[in-house]
Amino acid sequence: MGTKVDKDKNSDGSLLRDKKITIVFVLGGPGCGKGTQCAKIAEHFGFTHLSVGDLLRAETKTGSAYGAMIQKMMKEGEIVPSEVVVKLLQQAMLRSGNNKFLIDGFPRNEENRLIFESVMKIEPAFILFLDCPQEEMERRVLNRNQGRDDDNIETVRKRFKVFTESTLPVIEYYERKGKVRKVDAAKPIDEVFNDVKAIFPPYKANYVSSSNFNAEAGVEHRMCPVLSKLAGCARKTKALFRKRAPM
């Protein structure tokens, strides 16, 4: 069976580079509300919301060699190669027909960032960093997933530690370039979105009716189908974090 990745192994991103593309990375630790805010941004400003987790899960259902590899790696808790992740993002962007993208929870580490820049030859317009105290994120994740074994306090803190150790350096890199837009994500959802809207006005002139790419179906839907469960944040340094994550 054909696969999204297999059909475009040799693509170098030139088709995207020929278009005027706007990319916003949306980053934060578990529970900060990335998926919720991405859905609102997509609806209000006409961005397409792409979730790496969603794309990976969709690829596992294609029956491709890549899909089988991804499924095996995810089952064993291994990290999917950055090259594969970036290829899936690239193809989803091409299929969407849009030119404005929210990439949710990516890049997760410096390798992701380096491979993305090498393949895509596109820099993000900015990074939306949803800043939230660790205690609040823990409360949200535990409350929304009551009864789930994979979201107990220990696993949540492990995810938070991964964010602190792996994703924070990416945020710090873009902060040095003046590209980080930090929002207090501890507020109620609508208040957070009011702050987010203040960051996006340059894109309102290009507003189109809301369309968010459903990676699994390969079509567009009115409401964003992805509410990522890998959202949240806290600080490792005083510049970015209110509280150091427990080790």
Do 242 and 235 contact (CB within 8 A), yes or no?
yes
In terms of pLDDT, which residue wins out, 89 or 203?
89
Is 34 annotated as belonging to a binding site? yes
Is 235 annotated as belonging to a binding site? no
d(CA 229, CA 197): 22
Angle at 16 between CA 129 and CA 210, to 5 degrees: 60
Is 187 annotated as belonging to a binding site? yes
Domain ranges in the chain are 22-199
Q: Which residues contact 202 (CB under 8 A, 6 or more apart)?
A: none
Is 80 annotated as belonging to a binding site? yes
Is 116 annotated as belonging to a binding site? no
10 has a pLDDT exceeding 90: no
Is 53 annotated as belonging to a binding site? no
Do 193 and 26 contact (CB within 8 A), yes or no?
no
Tokens of 212: 């968010």
Q: Which residues contact 136 (CB under 8 A, 6 or more apart)?
A: 31, 186
Q: What integer pLDDT is reported at residue 65 of this predicted model?
A: 83
Is 17 annotated as belonging to a binding site? no
CATH topology of domain 22-199: Rossmann fold (3.40.50)
Q: What is the pLDDT of residues 125-160, one digit of tens each?
A: 999 999 999 889 989 988 886 555 555 788 888 888
Is 181 annotated as belonging to a binding site? no
167 has a pLDDT exceeding 60: yes
Is 78 annotated as belonging to a binding site? yes
Is 32 annotated as belonging to a binding site? yes
